[in-house]
Amino acid sequence: MNEVGSVGLIAALAFAAYGVVAGAMGGKLRSLRMVRSAERAAAAFFVMITLAIVALEIQILRDNFHNAYVAAHLCPTS
């Protein structure tokens, strides 16, 4: 599940970076295709971030203490 979360984050970063470039280019070149592409990148960014959040929540709910964050902040009784 840690791998899923990390993939979600890095994919979100990639989509965000692409969104910046496509948005700026779409505005500058007045290219509707680029603008649509930037908007889809923004949507994909949202989906990937949500995926990472879900991956972390699942680990919290499963008390997966192999994950450093879960081990640092949770115990089954709290």
Partner 1 sequence: MPYVVAILMATGAFFASITFFVANPFGELFMASTAGPRPFQPADGNGLNPLLQYHSMVIHPPMLYLGYVGFAVPFAFAMAALITRQLGDNWIRTTRRWTMVPWMFLGTGILLGGRWAYSVLGWGGYWGWDPVENASLLPWLAGTAFLHSVMIQEKRGMLKVWNVVLIITTFFLCIFGTFLTRSGIVSSVHAFAQSNIGPFFAVFLGIVLLFSVSLLFLRVEFLKSENKLDSVVSRESGFLFNNWILLAAVFAVLWGTIFPIISKAVQGVTVTVGAPFFNKVAVPIGLLLLFLTGAGPLLAWRKTSFQSLRRNFTLPLAAAVVVGVALFLSGVRHFYAWMSLFLCAFVAVSILQEFFKGARTRQKTGGENFLRAIYNLTMRNTRRYGGYVVHLGIVLLFVGFAGQAFQAKTKGLMQDGDELRVKNYVLRGISVVSGDTPNYTFQKIRLAVSKDGQPLGTLEPDRRFYKASQQPTSHVAIRSSLAEDVYAVLAGQDPDTGKAIVEVFVNPLVAWVWIGGFVTFLGTLLAMVPSRVERQMAEMRQAQEAGVGVSDAL
**Per CB under 8 A, 39 contacts partner 1:** yes
The tokens of 27 are what?
Answer: 């505005």
**Per CB under 8 A, 61 contacts partner 1:** no
**Per CB under 8 A, 24 contacts partner 1:** yes
Asked if 36 and 42 touch (Cβ cutoff 8 Å), the reply is no
The C-alpha atoms of residue 53 and residue 77 are separated, in whole angstroms, by: 22
The tokens of 7 are what?
Answer: 């993939």
Positions in the binding site for partner 1 (CB under 8 A): 2-3, 5-6, 9-10, 12-13, 15-24, 26-27, 34-35, 38-39, 41-42, 45, 49, 52, 55-56, 63-78
